Amino acid sequence: MNMVEIITHKKLGQALTQEEIDFFVKGAAEQTVPDYQLAALLMAIRLNGMTPEETTHLTLAMRDSGDVADLSAIPGVKVDKHSTGGVGDTTTLVLAPLVAACGVPVAKMSGRGLGHTGGTLDKLESIPGFNISLSEEAFVDQVRRIGVAVIGQTGSLAPADKTLYALRDVTATVDSLPLIASSIMSKKLASGADAIVLDVKTGSGAIMHTLEGSIELAKAMVDIGTLANKPVAAIVTGMAQPLGTHVGNALEVKDAIDVLSGRTKGDLLDVSLLLGSHMLVLAGAAASAEEGEQKLREALESGAGLRKLKEMIEAQGGDAQVCDDLSLLPQAAVVREVACGQTGWVAAMDTTALGLAAQAMGAGRIRKTDPLDYSVGFVLPVRIGDHVWPHTPFCTLYARSEAEADAAEQAIRAAVRISSDPVERPPLWYAIVTKDGAKMA
């Protein structure tokens, strides 16, 4: 067997055998197959697709290409949550403490920002002192003690995905359903959770822009989990606009603290409750999503969720006082209030462009090695469907300089369309996919 044969089979639209998949995944993990052959194969997969069997083989081969975390020392059902990526999408910081406050252990390995989307690790590192690099032992110990920990990947998790993902990023092969499904699920299966809740985004800021494509991705990932004997629920949620009103690392931490303090309601809270309620169901801590939501609301209202976030920050070396004094978070040099300047209804947003605007301000990386400015980003209080007047607050910019604030203002204005006709609010979620099928909203 050699790579040219494998590439040829996929070029001709044939299904790859398990042996062929194992061969190139091993080559990707050990970096013994040259990038140009892997890139050619990735493009052939992007163009000709994979059968469900091939996608499952690919996922399991990538899972087994490195370490598989052992969380068995943590009592209870460990449920993980993963988002396919969004803008202002801070659900982990809201739901991890709430779910833990309901007695369900949350042992979460998160990622960094990718392209226009934000990453939980970058947000957590905006909290002074917060350490995302715990050993597997310290990670397990913290979850046993306080019920929650959020860290970066330990050891060598799915190294084949690391190689393939880096190539996909620069060969226009990210948007391939079997490649996305196997990339996400290999890491989730390797991170050791007993059950998984997936937040599959759809809309202008999502990796899959169409609802059809998002549901198909959700189904593919649920099928893989089912075949691997892990219960998975995938919820297709809206990304037609940023989920929370805050975009940027420290700003999103502030948004999460505001939600857990009861000061902020809205879509970020509602989607966090929806995902969290399914985590409680999969963990056996609630008989239904409704009961799960009720428990989470009690943890929110009693302040138990916010207390759990403080405990987690403290346990991971961070300054938990940020929860009571938001001025301890990094502060931007330039703060600018911008008014709408138009009358009408907020009709649509190019959410990818909004994510890129935050990235250009310094909230995300353009090159892998770029340092972040945790303080920058923007608050966008307007939502699709809102009626606005010229004086209505449109956004607040948090920038490094007046020039960067000017560029961001221009980009954000261009990304938000205001129409003279009323527009309906987009739904919060569209479908819940489990092994029993898809339930539409």
Residue closer to ligand URA, measured from CB, 96 or 217: 217
Please confirm, yes or no, whether 161 is among the known catalytic residues.
yes
The DSSP output letter for 158 is S
Shortest distance (Å) from residue 207 CB to ligand URA: 6
Residue span binding ligand URA (CB under 6 A) among the ranges 43-51, 179-187, 216-224, 258-266 = 179-187
Q: Catalytic: which of 46, 63, 78, 82?
A: 82
Q: Give residue 92's identity as a one-letter amino acid code.
A: T
Q: What are phi and psi of 420, to 5 degrees?
A: -85, -5
Told to check if 121 binds ligand URA by CB under 6 A, we report no
Is 145 tagged catalytic?
no
85 near ligand URA, rule: CB under 6 A: yes
Decide if residue 405 touches ligand URA (CB under 6 A): no
Among 155, 153, 176, smallest CA distance to 165 is for 176
Tokens representing 46? 């992007």
> Choosing from 67, 122, 161, 255, which is the catalytic residue?
161
3 state DSSP class of 27 = helix
Least CB distance to ligand URA at residue 345 (A): 32
Q: How far is the CB of 112 from ligand URA (least distance, A)?
A: 11
Q: Is the dihedral of CA 168, 222, 437, 200 positive or negative?
A: negative
Which backbone phi and psi does 49 adopt, to 5 degrees? 75, -175
Shortest distance in whole angstroms from residue 188 CB to ligand URA: 9
155 to 174: interface string for ligand URA, x by CB under 6 A: ----------x---------
Structure tokens at 316: 């991971």
x/- letters, 191..220, toward ligand URA (CB under 6 A): ----------------x-------------
Compute the least distance from the CB of residue 194 to ligand URA, in Å.
Answer: 20
CA-nearest of 186, 266, 282 to 234 is: 282
The single residue among 58, 102, 151, 184 that binds ligand URA, judged by CB under 6 A, is 184
- As a whole number of angstroms, the distance between CA 203 and CA 31 comes to 35
**CB neighbours of residue 26 within 10 Å:** 15
Residue 44, Cβ neighbours under 10 Å: how many? 20
Binding site for ligand URA (CB under 6 A): 84-85, 165, 179-180, 183-184, 207
